[in-house]
Structure 1
Amino acid sequence: MVNRVPNEWLLYCRAGFEPDLTAEITARAHELDEPGQVVAAESNSGFVRWQSRDSRPANGIHRGLPLMSLVFARQSLVAFEPLSLSRDDRISPVVELIKESGWNFESIWHETPDTNEGKSLSRLAKSLSRPLESALKRGGGLRRKAGGRRLHLFWLAGDAVQIGMSFPGNRSEHPGGVLRLRHPADAPSRSTLKLEEAWHTFVPKEAWESRLHEGMQAVDLGAAPGGWTYQLVRRGMFVYAIDNGPMAPGLMATGQVEHLREDGFVWEPPYRLDWLVCDIVDKPMRVIDMVERWLIKRWCREAIFNLKLPMKKRWEEVQRCLTRLEVTLKAEGIEADIACRHLYHDREEVTVHVRLKGER
């Protein structure tokens, strides 16, 4: 019989990064002294399940480690243990579990792992959407005002589903935790979506007018052929594009780009800039060294940069880099907000955002 207490913490991730997410939440849970352990992290499954000890609700660790504080998680849910279903009646067990739990919700999302096997379940999930919604309304599990809570049905197979719940302010507002963006036809490379997603992730939409506006000055280190420069130009910024390689002619024709064939690790700006962005392929700590220099000298107000990760012990490398950056800035008396996420458009890398405090 399924435990009627939501004693699991369900996290989505990119397929193949389950060991990294496992290492991250295991270390972070230990720091919080939260009793529990990872009970499922199958290779290339696209999710990790953490279960609390003694069947206590997982709300504590869910609140203690908010989604935006995690690197490798795309979505964070308080969940019940997976539910086995009969193919003759997939709805009644779900409705019964929700009713017995005493929870109610304002909306329902049907989701699947971001894998080929998971995507094959999307048609089944869609066919069950309306019948389940009607049944939950009749049983009181779905109502207009329920504190913004959302019910997530995470389909593991045609006869297995994990029921989770999310809360406003501590969840991704995108199905599957994936922000899908359209690739601009005139962008020089697909890497352009990395920077666009980073802005959506790290800069609140209401702050775009004050922090991403026309007339700002930016630098793109390792710019060629101009995927990230494209985003800066599109926002109306003037850009120093630093790279020995060629830039896309269309970008140069805008008059907003000054291309300097120099080494991005040693180039210095003529004056303080608003933004530093960098997608250079190099050792993560070398990138940290460079970014620290920029921030200590206050050559920029905000920075977004990628760290290319090794195939093994990716969490350990991320932790090492972020700790070094935080310790160095603190030693220099520099206060800054630092965030790091493994974005949908990232591959073997993570994206870091740093904003100096006290900036407009």
Structure 2
Amino acid sequence: MKLLLLYCRAGFEAECAAEISNRATEVGIAGYPVFTKDQGYVEYHLFGDALELMSQIKFRSLIFIRQWVACLPVCSELPTQDRISPLSALVQDLPQTAELIAETPDTTEGRELQGFVTKFASAFSQSLRKNGLMLSRKQASLWRLHLFALSGREMFLGVSPVKNSSRHAMGIQRLKFPSHAPSRSTLKLEEAWHWFIPKSEFDEALGGGLTAVDLGAAPGGWTWQLVQKGMFVTAVDNGPMNESLMETGQVTHLREDAFRFEPVRPVNWMVCDVVEKPIQVTELMLDWATHGWAEQMVFNLKLPMKQRYKETLQCLDRLKDGLNEHSIDFKLSARHLYHDREEITCYLDLRKA
């Protein structure tokens, strides 16, 4: 297959395209992106094999790409009276799968299609299994089958590797907003934990009784998540904090500048969602890391309107270089989460291996 379909947040197609072009070049596989702004996906046309490219790159190392699918050419003008037959014929050219995921672009038009696509995919998967073109649900497969619909008559068909892709439909982790949280920003930190920390390590990394600092805390969306995990939090912000959070007895509110605050003693967690230039936040994180003030950090970098991918790489490289200069062991990851907007979320683990 010569086509790699990449899902992204609408408006971030250029960043998605720049990232895959950069990463493909690194592993010596040439290609070129095709996209329209705000369409929510990028077509990356390869001169090599899409499956080979996917085997050379760790999906979890990608930042702006929510999901990737090795695809056949788009199926256009599908007959409305029988879409299943022509699509079934194409499935025979794909690796065998045991699961079909129905998807659309994450756009207004795409969301309007989801009801139809879900129903169609159910009938399609039943037909594939009946005709021996898909394994039973109990059988293991290395691949997932994806049906990505642009309309009722135009669809992509392809596969993603089960162990090197997102397990969520459309690459989106769906979370329910907790009604008692002070702000919707709380979902950013919850999603970050789900993405960056393996479920098997949740108890160790996020257990009760830990200490945390929330820089730029008000009104307390991220502090709320820390409190729910049983942590004791120092919330640093000149603005007011949610009253119910303060009543828990787990939060100390300091009306100070996040960029000038220094903890009395090291903490287990530092989180930061301040609105400031990304390079300044990067320097602040580097300061915390080199002083040994926190074991783990989650922080957001608010990106500029232009050259967002370039700015991302510059900030991450600055952080890596600074940590290496101080001979600090670290694990650094970054992701444009579903609940992020003009920003990326980073996770820095400074615990000794």
Give the TM-score normalised by structure 1.
0.94
Alpha-carbon separation, structure 2, partners of 1:215 and 1:71: 32
**Structure 2 matches for 1:317-356, cutoff 5 A?**
317-356=311-350
Alpha-carbon separation, structure 2, partners of 1:336 and 1:254: 33
- Confirm whether residue 47 of structure 1 aligns to residue 56 of structure 2: no
1:210 aligns to what? 204
* Counterpart pick for 2:253 among 231, 254, 259: 259
1:357 Cα offset (Å): 4.5
* Matching residue's letter, 2:51: N
* Counterpart pick for 1:128 among 120, 123, 127: 120
- Confirm whether residue 98 of structure 1 aligns to residue 91 of structure 2: yes
Alpha-carbon separation, structure 2, partners of 1:172 and 1:7: 21
* Matching residue's letter, 1:243: D
Deviation digits for residues 130-167 of structure 1, max 9, x if unmatched?
Answer: 33123211332211325242100000111111112112
- Confirm whether residue 107 of structure 1 aligns to residue 107 of structure 2: no
1:335 Cα offset (Å): 1.6
1:181 aligns to what? 175
> Per the alignment, in what secondary structure is the counterpart of residue 286 of structure 2?
helix
> Per the alignment, in what secondary structure is the counterpart of residue 130 of structure 1?
helix
Alpha-carbon separation, structure 2, partners of 1:81 and 1:236: 50
1:330 Cα offset (Å): 0.7
Alpha-carbon separation, structure 1, partners of 2:58 and 2:158: 16
Mean Cα displacement is larger for which, 275-284 or 29-38? 29-38
**Which 5+ residue runs of structure 2 have no aligned equivalent?**
none
> Per the alignment, in what secondary structure is the counterpart of residue 121 of structure 1?
helix
**Structure 2 matches for 1:51-70, cutoff 5 A?**
51-53=45-47, 56-70=48-62
**Structure 2 matches for 1:15-54, cutoff 5 A?**
15-38=10-33, 40-53=34-47
Identity %: 44
* Matching residue's letter, 1:34: I
Alpha-carbon separation, structure 2, partners of 1:134 and 1:77: 22
* Matching residue's letter, 1:129: A
> Per the alignment, in what secondary structure is the counterpart of residue 83 of structure 1?
coil
Alpha-carbon separation, structure 1, partners of 2:13 and 2:125: 32
Q: Over the residues paired in the alignment, what is the CA RMSD in angstroms?
A: 1.2
Checking the alignment, whether the CA contact within 8 Å between 2:216 and 2:235 is kept in structure 1 is yes
Checking the alignment, whether the CA contact within 8 Å between 2:142 and 2:163 is kept in structure 1 is no
Q: What is the number of equivalent residue pairs in this alignment?
A: 350
- Confirm whether residue 290 of structure 1 aligns to residue 284 of structure 2: yes
2:8 aligns to what? 13
1:117 aligns to what? 109
Mean Cα displacement is larger for which, 189-198 or 263-272? 263-272
Alpha-carbon separation, structure 1, partners of 2:335 and 2:242: 28
1:220 aligns to what? 214
1:69 Cα offset (Å): 0.8
1:161 aligns to what? 155
1:315 aligns to what? 309
- Confirm whether residue 86 of structure 1 aligns to residue 79 of structure 2: yes
1:3 aligns to what? none
CA 1:269–1:102 in 2, change beyond 3 Å: closer, same or farther? closer
> Per the alignment, in what secondary structure is the counterpart of residue 164 of structure 2?
coil
Alpha-carbon separation, structure 2, partners of 1:57 and 1:7: 5
* Matching residue's letter, 1:63: S
Checking the alignment, whether the CA contact within 8 Å between 1:103 and 1:141 is kept in structure 2 is no
* Matching residue's letter, 1:226: G
1:31 Cα offset (Å): 1.9
Alpha-carbon separation, structure 2, partners of 1:65 and 1:155: 26
Alpha-carbon separation, structure 2, partners of 1:354 and 1:162: 37
> Per the alignment, in what secondary structure is the counterpart of residue 253 of structure 2?
strand
1:37 Cα offset (Å): 1.2
Give the TM-score normalised by structure 2.
0.96
Deviation digits for residues 25-82 of structure 1, max 9, x if unmatched?
Answer: 11222222211111x21111100111111xx420122122222111111111111111
1:140 aligns to what? 132
* Counterpart pick for 2:194 among 200, 211, 224: 200
